Structure 1
Amino acid sequence: MKVKKQKKHRKIITFYTSCFGFRKPFKVLCDGNFIHHLLQNKITPADKSLANILNSDVLLFTTRCVVEELKRLGRSFAESLEAARQLKIARCEHEKCEHAAKCIMEVIGENNSLHFFVGSQDTELRRQLQQVPGVPLVYGLRNALFLEPVSASHKEYVKTSEEARSHITDIEHKMLKNRIQNSTNNEKAANSADEGKELEDQTKDVKAVKKNRSSARNQMGIKDRPQFKRKKAKGPNPLSCKKKKNRNVGSLKENTEVDKKRSRKRKRTRKGQQNTTTAD
């Protein structure tokens, strides 16, 4: 595969993966003409050839209506019928077999919720599928496979959807309005509660300050109210008065000296007196 072709296919795949949520492994829904073209041009095995284009593993699907249509086409499509029976069957809700193109359109639906790549050689079917958003198309040309370029309708759909996402819907607008009202009410209630708490705290602080002041005054011996004392008669200033002299100090000294003299004098006795005393 050429480099330019690879770049084109990568751009197409990134567009569908980023804008419509396609994920690997990719699923390819094949119609009878596409299966017959693969076998006629020997593009086999089909899963590997498609994996080379999509740069990913591939799961091949078809519908019960496509298999029934290949049965009715006769022996020339017998090999294609056997190949279709080996593919996985995508569920379609048709009791009676419908035309293959109609069946594929109903399986794809309005927005291709199952994320199918559609492989078809039917130009009319591909033209109809280009109007359905999010349907990448694969077709064969001789012995090569190609991805259909992104249609203008797909690009326009992506653009409008992105613009719609950027705007708010009516339901979202109502929800946002209710949330804003609830938040404002809650803020008002919280602010009123905070103001009440602040007032209570201020009153408590004032009371505590008063108590602390009164306790500090009581500890320091300071009274709240001044008490006036009556003036009493005061005596003379002791610093301005002379000191009193003790008159008894001199007499005491004299007495002590006399006592000392008395104690020092010895009593002398005369011999005559002693004798008289003995004689008597």
Structure 2
Amino acid sequence: MKLKRAKAYKKLLHQYELNFGFREPYQVLVDWQILQDAYNFKIDLIARLEKILGGQVKPMITTCDMRHLYAAKPKNETLILQAKEYERRRCNHQDLDEPLSTLECLSSVVDPKDSKTNKHRYVVASNDISVRAHMRSVAGVPLIYITKSVVLMEPMANASEEQREREEKSKFKQGLKGQRKPDAGPKRKRNDEEEGQSIAGGATGDARPSKQKREKGPKGPNPLSVRKSTKEKSAPEASASKKANDAQPSTADATNTHDAEASGARKRKRKHKPKGDDTSAAIEDDGEVTAP
């Protein structure tokens, strides 16, 4: 069996379990035609049914279908011995001279009162087209058949789908109604409870402050994550900062004045001209040249 088909069968059977109460071991009603086809295709029917349903099965056969196996031509003794191992589902038709058809017999077993419900939770395995067509009108009947040596299960019929939807809606309504007990009385308002508590607390002297509800509204940004504004300073602040900067000498000016004082403190050496020059000039300490 392919993986995709196995997943679909598992999901389908889970819906039958939730909505119609199916459980292991699954009661599988087989008819004589599907037994004959399984024998011809050399299929182990019980093993295939367990694989499809994903659990243990309890194969069952009616008295009418057993009589059909005995009356079949040619008579298959191997198939009759195999069918005898299954549980016999008494259909109360054994007193009749001729067995009923598979459709009439299985319909009386699955839906005896014609209520269109599968009360005993049978899984019907049949290769009779008329049987499967009738069982689709009964809610909650999984149908299994054989085609081309492959055992398949039909999807959920419309009647089963409709009943499943009705049950889900009823459960939903019951859940909504069951949230509050009918004897609980009318619900008190929170404001009335708080006022009663404050009055009782004022009388005893140990009233607790009632919590005020915070008004809902747009929240501001986180101040730690907001970037500081880079706007220019106003005119008065700019002038005050400029005056403060002018009053304090800059580091560059201080270094220049310090260098000038250091150079002026140095003594300059006099330069002596050679002798015999009448127009010699005297060099003063400050470096200026004067006439004799």
Normalised to the residue count of structure 1, the TM-score between the two structures is 0.57
Shift of the alpha carbon at 1:167?
A: 5.2
Give the match for residue 239 of structure 2.
none
Shift of the alpha carbon at 1:19?
A: 0.8
**Structure 1 residue 48 and structure 2 residue 50: aligned?**
no
Give the greater-gyration-radius structure (CA): 1
Query: Which of these residues, 77, 81, 102, is aligned with residue 100 of structure 1?
Result: 102
Counterpart amino acid of residue 102 in structure 2: A
SS in 2 for 1:112: coil
SS in 2 for 1:138: strand
Counterpart amino acid of residue 106 in structure 2: I
**Structure 1 residue 66 and structure 2 residue 72: aligned?**
no
Give the match for residue 133 of structure 1.
139
Higher RCO (Cα < 8 Å, 6 or more apart): 1
Counterpart amino acid of residue 64 in structure 2: C
Counterpart amino acid of residue 68 in structure 1: R
How many angstroms apart in 2 are the aligned matches of 1:152 and 1:99? Answer: 25
SS in 1 for 2:59: strand
How many angstroms apart in 2 are the aligned matches of 1:59 and 1:131? Answer: 24
How many angstroms apart in 2 are the aligned matches of 1:55 and 1:167? Answer: 33
The answer on whether the counterparts of 1:61 and 1:87 sit within 8 Å (CA) in structure 2 is yes
Give the match for residue 162 of structure 1.
168
How many angstroms apart in 2 are the aligned matches of 1:161 and 1:13? Answer: 17
Name the % identity: 26
The answer on whether the counterparts of 1:35 and 1:83 sit within 8 Å (CA) in structure 2 is no
Counterpart amino acid of residue 61 in structure 1: M
Give the match for residue 86 of structure 2.
87
- Kindly provide the CA deviation profile for residues 216-252 of structure 1, in whole angstroms up to 9, marking residues without a partner as x: xxxxxxxxxxxxxxxxxxxxxxxxxxxxxxxxxxxxx
Normalised to the residue count of structure 2, the TM-score between the two structures is 0.55
Shift of the alpha carbon at 1:165?
A: 4.5
Give the match for residue 129 of structure 2.
123
How many angstroms apart in 1 are the aligned matches of 2:59 and 2:121? Answer: 13
SS in 1 for 2:55: coil
Q: Tell me, which stretches of 5 or more residues in structure 1 are unaligned? A: 169-178, 185-280
The answer on whether the counterparts of 2:125 and 2:143 sit within 8 Å (CA) in structure 1 is yes
Counterpart amino acid of residue 18 in structure 1: L
SS in 1 for 2:19: helix
- Kindly provide the CA deviation profile for residues 128-175 of structure 1, in whole angstroms up to 9, marking residues without a partner as x: 10110110011112222111111122111111233345557xxxxxxx
Shift of the alpha carbon at 1:25?
A: 1.5
Shift of the alpha carbon at 1:67?
A: 0.6
How many angstroms apart in 1 are the aligned matches of 2:124 and 2:65? Answer: 13
Give the match for residue 159 of structure 2.
153
Give the match for residue 32 of structure 1.
32
Counterpart amino acid of residue 84 in structure 1: A
Higher helix share: 1
How many angstroms apart in 2 are the aligned matches of 1:80 and 1:12? Answer: 31
Counterpart amino acid of residue 108 in structure 2: E
RMSD in angstroms over aligned alpha carbons?
2.4
Give the match for residue 206 of structure 1.
none
SS in 2 for 1:83: helix
Counterpart amino acid of residue 30 in structure 1: V
Counterpart amino acid of residue 31 in structure 1: D
Deviates further, 97-106 or 119-128: 97-106
Shift of the alpha carbon at 1:124?
A: 1.4
Shift of the alpha carbon at 1:57?
A: 1.1
SS in 2 for 1:60: strand
How many angstroms apart in 2 are the aligned matches of 1:51 and 1:29? Answer: 14
The answer on whether the counterparts of 1:32 and 1:80 sit within 8 Å (CA) in structure 2 is no
Deviates further, 100-109 or 88-97: 88-97
SS in 2 for 1:28: strand
Shift of the alpha carbon at 1:62?
A: 0.4
Counterpart amino acid of residue 48 in structure 1: A
Shift of the alpha carbon at 1:59?
A: 1.1
Q: Tell me, which stretches of 5 or more residues in structure 2 are unaligned? A: 175-181, 186-292
Counterpart amino acid of residue 153 in structure 1: A
Shift of the alpha carbon at 1:77?
A: 4.3
The answer on whether the counterparts of 2:29 and 2:124 sit within 8 Å (CA) in structure 1 is yes
How many angstroms apart in 2 are the aligned matches of 1:55 and 1:166? Answer: 29
SS in 2 for 1:19: helix
The answer on whether the counterparts of 1:119 and 1:138 sit within 8 Å (CA) in structure 2 is yes
